[in-house]
Each structure stands twice: as C-alpha cells, then as structure tokens.
C-alpha cells in the first residue's frame, strides 16, 4: 500500500511551472529523502502534499484518499509537518507548542490528559528538548526550535512525517541525533518519513529511497543506489560527482567536483603524482585546473584519487584494493614517473600495501629528478610498517627529497619554474 500517491501534479506561480507533471508513489513505511538543487520545487512539493498549496493540475492521495478531501483534524492524524521556517507568531512555551501536537486527538473542548502530557514528555526527551519546556518558543535557538517542532510532529502520532530540511540549523551532533530518531520512528513504528535534505550524504545514510528533482521535474526516484548515480546527479546539479562507498558507514558518499577554470592554460610541465586514499584529490584538482600534464599511481582502484583521475582522463596506474602493489603496476608507474618532469608524493600513510611507491621516488632521485613530498618530515602516525616507511623516507631525504607544505606552496614553486 502506498502512503502517498502523486499523479501528474503541476503547480505554477504565474506562468512558471514549479512542479511539472510529477507522478510518484511513496510506499508506506519508507524513509524517503527529496533532494535537488535550490529552486527545484522540493518545498513546494511538500506543501502540496500537506495541503498548504493547491495544485492547478493533478492529485495527491494520502492512503488512497485525495488530500483535498481531508478535514484538517483528520489530515493531522495522518501527516505531521516540520516546515523549513519554524518561527511561531505567538509567545508560547515550548511545552505548549509540543502539546499542540495532541490537538487532532482531542475532542471539542477536551483538555490534555495525563497521557497526552506523558506522550509530550517522551517526545521532548527523545528530541532533547525536555530541559527547554518552560522557555518561550521564540527565545530559544533556531536549532532548538527545529527540535521542538519535530517533538510536536511526533506527539501528533501521525502515519507520515514530512520534514523540510529538518537538519539545516542543527550542529553535526544534533543532525545525526534527529536523523537517528527519525530512523527509529521509521523502523520501530513504521512511520513513513519524507524529508527534504540538502546533504546527499545524510540522505544516502539514513533514507532507503531518494527522489531527485530538478526544475520541478523528476530526474529519478527509487532505491538510494539507483538514484545516486553520476549521470543522474550531473543532470540535476550540472556538476561532476565522485560516488564511493563510505568505509565507516557502508553507505554511498558523494563528492562534488568543482568544475572551475576549465578553459585553462596548457602547461608543458609533466607531473607524476603518487597518492592514494583521497590524499591526492585536491592536489590533482588544483594541478588539473592549473593546466599541468599529469599522471597518477600507483593508487587503489575505486578510491577517490582514482575516481578523480579517471574523471579527468588522467593516466593512472591502479591496483586492486587491499593488495600489495604488483611488479607490473610498479613498472607502469615507474615509466610514467620517467616521462614526468617532476614527481610529488602526498602525505598518504605508508603501509605494506603501498610502500613500494617509495621505490619510484628513490629511482627518480637517483636519476637526478626533482621529487617533492608533502609536509616532510613525516610523523610516526603516517607509518604502518613499524618504522620501515619512515626509515626509507629519511634515506630519500638524504638523497635530495624536498618537503613542501601543502598545495598552495607547491603551486608557488611550480609558478617560479614557469
């Protein structure tokens, strides 16, 4: 059964279609995020679902019944809304505001019962707002108010909660806390959660489905992995993105790649970059934007350095993740380093998997080539080989390895070379 069915919905301000012939279904019990660039119609869509705006065309069905046919009180039992703007026009206490969420469950002239008070207390504890209960709603911070309004939506005990950027004024700690809370409501009570989220990584982490909008139109909807693809995101955001799996959360992680200075100068200097694990992505970007000829390796296939090199068609030597650099990969990388005018290695931690990369540096130094290393001398925390890596680096330093303190400094050095 679907919680929400949207059929051929069009909403216009004047002649401009803000939601454009949109059709989609939101399954009961799903946790769905709506994402898309600014102005793509996300808030407008939520307002239409909540019956705060009337579409010119199409219908929204809530549990099979047209939203326009719901009485306000009945709709409030089905849908709780947490709007983007949580300012309240009257000076109520936090507790009064949260208790207002019980209104759809009260009869005419009926007062809140002890049970209603208990439900409100529980929601305030869950949203970490219990300590604010006696404060004036307009005299607490924006983030605190956002949590109070979420508490109010929870006490409504609706089957669906719509939230418009519920984490926008929250610090990272409260962002995760609120999203965990929503996930819990979704998992334990089967509440359907529909949240507009700007942060695609949070959307990927917490929701099981995503709706991607652009200019009022549906670009894609469905399972997170099916929607968050390079192609879909490029169509919506007009930007290249790297998408990888976050090794800590196991969920998708999107890295937008700035497309700046594309009409760039073409420098003749050729640079080989030894990096990995994401340590080289800003450097690759900066050198690419600077117009240098680049090669990269050896890096693990699939890591973000590898992705960005592939994205820009940079020659890259790759190795399967979690394995040592093979002799053939090492040979290929050495050839690229031979062809380069200079080499730079980032401050990537050195382990048994990538220690062979240091051989590339040694051979190039032996050949009299300039080789740079980020932030030399190295700290112990970068060594996972029981001191071997640092020892080799020390030898390389004696051979002429130069330390460079970050990308800006490196670009300055390159500029001086002309």
Ligand X SMILES: Nc1ncnc2c1ncn2[C@@H]1O[C@H](COP(=O)(O)OP(=O)(O)OP(=O)(O)O)[C@@H](O)[C@H]1O
> Which residues are near ligand X by CB under 6 A?
13, 18, 36, 38-44
**Which residue, among 250, 141, 126, has the nearest Cα to 180 in the 3D structure?**
126
Do the beta carbons of residue 326 and residue 353 sit within 8 Å?
no
Q: Which is nearer to ligand X, 204 or 308 (CB)?
A: 204
Q: Which is nearer to ligand X, 39 or 400 (CB)?
A: 39
In the structure, how many helices (H) and strands (E) does the chain have? 15, 18
Least distance (Å) from ligand X to the CB of residue 306? 32
Q: Which is nearer to ligand X, 213 or 333 (CB)?
A: 213
Least distance (Å) from ligand X to the CB of residue 215? 9
Least distance (Å) from ligand X to the CB of residue 40? 4
CA 314 to chain centre: 26
Q: Which is nearer to ligand X, 39 or 387 (CB)?
A: 39
Least distance (Å) from ligand X to the CB of residue 226? 21
Q: Which is nearer to ligand X, 135 or 215 (CB)?
A: 215
Using CA of residue 330, residue 333, residue 338, residue 344, what is the dihedral sign? negative
CA distance 199 to 251: 13
Least distance (Å) from ligand X to the CB of residue 19? 8
Helix (H, G, I), strand (E, B) or coil at 18: strand
**CA 140 → CA 101, 148, 176, distances in Å?**
19, 10, 20
Least distance (Å) from ligand X to the CB of residue 13? 4
Helix (H, G, I), strand (E, B) or coil at 178: helix
Sequence-distant (≥ 6) Cβ neighbours of residue 163 within 8 angstroms: 81, 82, 150, 153, 182, 193, 194, 195, 196
Q: Which is nearer to ligand X, 19 or 345 (CB)?
A: 19
CA distance 218 to 9: 11
């Amino acid at each position: 059964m679907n919680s929400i069915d949207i059929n051929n919905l069009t909403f216009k301000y004047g002649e401009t279609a803000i939601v454009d012939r949109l059709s989609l279904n939101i399954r009961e019990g799903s946790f769905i995020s709506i994402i898309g660039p600014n102005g793509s119609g996300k808030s407008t869509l939520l307002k239409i679902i909540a019956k705060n705006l009337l579409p010119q065309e199409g219908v929204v069905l809530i549990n099979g019944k047209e939203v326009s046919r719901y009485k306000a009180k009945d709709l409030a039992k089905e849908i709780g809304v947490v709007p983007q703007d949580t300012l309240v026009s009257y000076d109520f206490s936090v507790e009064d505001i949260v208790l207002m969420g019980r209104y759809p469950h009260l009869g005419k002239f009926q007062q809140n019962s002890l049970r209603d008070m208990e439900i409100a207390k529980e929601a305030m504890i869950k949203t970490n707002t219990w300590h604010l209960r006696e404060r004036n709603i307009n005299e607490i911070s924006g983030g605190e108010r956002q949590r109070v309004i979420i508490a109010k939506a929870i006490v409504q005990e609706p089957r669906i909660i719509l939230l418009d950027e519920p984490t926008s004024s929250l610090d990272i700690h409260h962002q995760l806390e609120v999203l965990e809370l929503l996930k819990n409501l979704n998992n334990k009570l089967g509440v359907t959660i529909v949240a507009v989220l700007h942060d695609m990584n949070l959307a990927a982490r917490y929701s099981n489905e995503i709706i991607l909008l652009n200019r009022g139109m549906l670009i894609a909807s469905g399972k997170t992995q099916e929607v968050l693809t390079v192609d879909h995101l490029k169509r919506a955001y007009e930007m290249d993105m790297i998408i990888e799996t976050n090794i800590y959360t196991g969920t998708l992680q999107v890295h937008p790649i700035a497309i700046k200075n594309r009409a760039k100068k073409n420098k003749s200097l050729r640079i080989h970059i030894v990096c990995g694990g994401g340590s080289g992505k800003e450097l690759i970007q900066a050198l690419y934007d600077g117009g240098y000829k680049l090669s990269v390796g050896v890096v693990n296939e699939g890591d973000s350095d590898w992705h960005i090199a592939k994205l820009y068609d940079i020659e890259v030597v790759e190795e399967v993740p979690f394995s040592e650099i093979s002799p053939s990969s090492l040979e290929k990388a050495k050839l690229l380093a031979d062809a380069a005018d200079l080499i730079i290695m980032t401050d990537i931690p050195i382990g048994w998997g990538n220690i062979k990369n240091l051989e590339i540096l040694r051979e190039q130094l032996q050949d009299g080539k300039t080789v740079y290393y980020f932030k030399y001398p190295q700290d112990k925390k970068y060594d996972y080989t029981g001191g071997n890596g640092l020892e080799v680096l020390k030898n390389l330093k004696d051979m002429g390895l130069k330390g460079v303190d970050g990308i800006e400094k490196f670009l300055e050095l390159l500029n001086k070379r002309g």
